[in-house]
Amino acid sequence: MRTDTSPALQVGFQLFFFFFFFLSGGEIGGGEAAIALPRFAEAPQFRNGDGCAGKGGGGVCDPELVHIAMTLDAHYLRGSVAAVFSLLKHASCPDSLFFHFVASESESESPAAAELRRVVAETFPSLRFEIYPFREELVAGLISASVRAALESPLNYARNYLADLLPPCVRRVIYLDSDVLAVDDVRRLWETRLPAAAVVAAPEYCHANFTRYFTAAFWDDPALGPRAFDGRRRRPCYFNTGVMVVDLRRWRAGGYRRRIEKWMRVQKERRIYELGSLPPFLLVFAGEVEAVDHRWNQHGLGGDNVEGSCRPLHAGPVSLMHWSGKGKPWDRLDAGRPCPLDHLWAPYDLLLPPSPSSSSSSSSSSSAMASLLLSL
């Protein structure tokens, strides 16, 4: 049966799709134009003190620099901005910090690098940084399902490729997740001694149940299980990959990216772990990590990977807080259900409210569309 549509209704449908297209930023399918990055207040300016070597005027190969790598994306940008602010605020030589940001190259899932660069430059006018595009296809075929969807993001694996992305003259880098907050001078972490046998330094947690990071199938397989850790310098312990000091020269020379990828391929075949990008790191580095004081990764403040419940700080001094887990302080604060420690993060939040003009324009357009459709 054929149903005729009146000209007025046809016009209404056309106008509906026009307004939908306009209000979605020109992308019905969710491309780059559809992603509106948040606005941030300009951070205070921080300068080197009298005791700093040089004034940080050299290029990226300046040997006096402290190199810090982080990822950037639309959802975690608010956390990244707060993390950078905290690092600058507490640095004894802030001009000596150089930030290496890694952003997705995908046109459908991330804003353009130019737009990210604009936001970072406007928020931190004096910041020394570079943005590196990360090709998701490098790792997309190696990622397996995890307990939380966010852990399956290809950008979550970008830390595996830092030695390939950063300039060869960068010999060492501190990798930090976007949900961290520094309350101490990061140079102290930078100066961690790495003996000749070590590639990675990080806080270790040997009291944690190491076996739970892998499946029963892994431990029951005589070709895997404990044999995977034979010959390590020490007994393997859990460490969190959200805070690491990495010797990039040794990483490149030892082909550690390929070693991690090898275990990711095993995972695709046999399902030997459940938790995102961490287990391959454990398989390669557990028992070989140079231990760092726990104060540099007070992790788990985001709760577990399912509930994201509130957690207290661990006993002992604190230099860096880490909201690893499902709960992020910005989400919980916005929802009006913050955990006690989220209030320590809030002073570093530079987010600005949406501009009144854009909000009113969107509201007016929506009202006009609704009125037009109701009149048809």
Residue 343 lies in a domain: no
The pTM score is 0.84
Q: What is the pLDDT of residue 264?
A: 95
Residue 350 lies in a domain: no
Is the pLDDT score of 9 beyond 60? no
Q: What is the pLDDT of residue 146?
A: 67
Q: What is the pLDDT of residue 57?
A: 64
Residue 121 lies in a domain: yes
Residue 300 lies in a domain: no
Count structural domains, the chain. 1
Residue 340 lies in a domain: no
Residue 199 lies in a domain: yes
Q: What is the pLDDT of residue 55?
A: 60
In 3D, which of 186, 178, 176, 177 has the Cα closest to residue 319?
A: 186
Tokens read off for 133: 């595009």
CATH number of the domain that 91 lies in?
A: 3.90.550.10
DSSP letters, 311-356, are -PPPSS--SEEE--SS--HHHHHHTT---TTHHHHGGG--BPPPPH
DSSP letters, 207-240, are TS-GGGGS-HHHHH-TTSGGGGGTT-SS---EE-
**pLDDT tens-digit readout, 325-334:** 999 999 999 9
Distance CA 328, CA 71 (A): 16
Per-residue pLDDT, averaged over 283-300, amounts to 97
| Structure letter (DSSP) for residue 152 | G
Dihedral in degrees, nearest 10, Cα atoms 90, 150, 105, 120: -30
Q: What is the extent of the structural domain holding 108? A: 66-291
Residue 223 lies in a domain: yes
Check: CB of residue 214 under 8 Å from CB of residue 272.
yes
In 3D, which of 257, 305, 273, 275 has the Cα closest to residue 139?
A: 257
**pLDDT tens-digit readout, 153-192:** 899 999 999 999 999 999 999 999 999 999 999 999 999 9
φ/ψ of residue 85, rounded to 5: -55, -45
Q: Binning pLDDT at 50, 70 and 90, where does residue 211 land?
A: very high
Residue 375 lies in a domain: no
Q: Is 253 helix (H, G, I), strand (E, B) or coil?
A: helix
Tokens read off for 69: 């790598």
Check: CB of residue 155 under 8 Å from CB of residue 140.
no
Q: What is the pLDDT of residue 149?
A: 64
